[in-house]
């Protein structure tokens, strides 16, 4: 299926880690009390536009997938995949997405995290 709105599983926080400034870096989300990464499958400028809007970073310039800013540590699991935003949403929590636990393990490795 297309997934469920991320808001259905409460997406309270998003951050960028490992970049040169606060508006660039590896995408991390906090779910169920822990931080983890987001799989880069299907990410496009619409998804990045929503992320930039949520973080107050202005207009999205590019989407960098394939761990440009390094993979998340082994202790930080991949928590989300198949993020699909239209580009007009105010936050990632309004976009379609899957939690890795819903989709099954092993569908995304740390070398395919967004950012």
Model confidence over 22-32: pLDDT tens digits?
998 888 888 87
pLDDT band at 110 (very low <50, low <70, confident <90, very high): low
Range of the domain at 91: 4-112
Exposure pattern of 8-30 as b/e (b: 16+ CB <10 Å)?
A: ebebeebebbeeeeeebbbbbbe
- What pTM, to 2 d.p., does this model score? 0.75
CB 3 within 8 A of CB 46: no
> CA-based angle 16:22:26, to the nearest 5?
25
User: The CATH number of the domain where 101 resides is what?
Assistant: 3.10.250.10
Report the range of poorest mean pLDDT among 10-19, 48-57, 94-103: 94-103
Q: What is the total count of domains within the chain?
A: 1
Say whether pLDDT at 114 is over 80.
no
Between CA 38 and CA 64 the distance in angstroms is 12
| Higher per-residue confidence, 73 vs 21 | 21
């Amino acid at each position: 299926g297309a997934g469920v709105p991320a808001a259905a599983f409460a997406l309270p926080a998003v951050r960028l880690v490992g970049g040169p400034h606060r508006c660039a870096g590896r995408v991390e989300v906090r779910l169920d009390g822990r931080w983890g990464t987001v799989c880069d499958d299907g990410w496009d400028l619409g998804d990045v536009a929503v992320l930039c809007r949520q973080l107050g970073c202005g207009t999205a310039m590019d989407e960098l997938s394939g761990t440009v800013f390094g993979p998340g540590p082994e202790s930080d699991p991949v928590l989300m995949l198949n993020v699909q935003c239209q580009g007009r949403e105010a936050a990632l929590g309004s976009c379609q997405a899957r939690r890795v636990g819903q989709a099954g393990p092993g569908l995304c490795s740390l070398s395919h995290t967004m950012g």
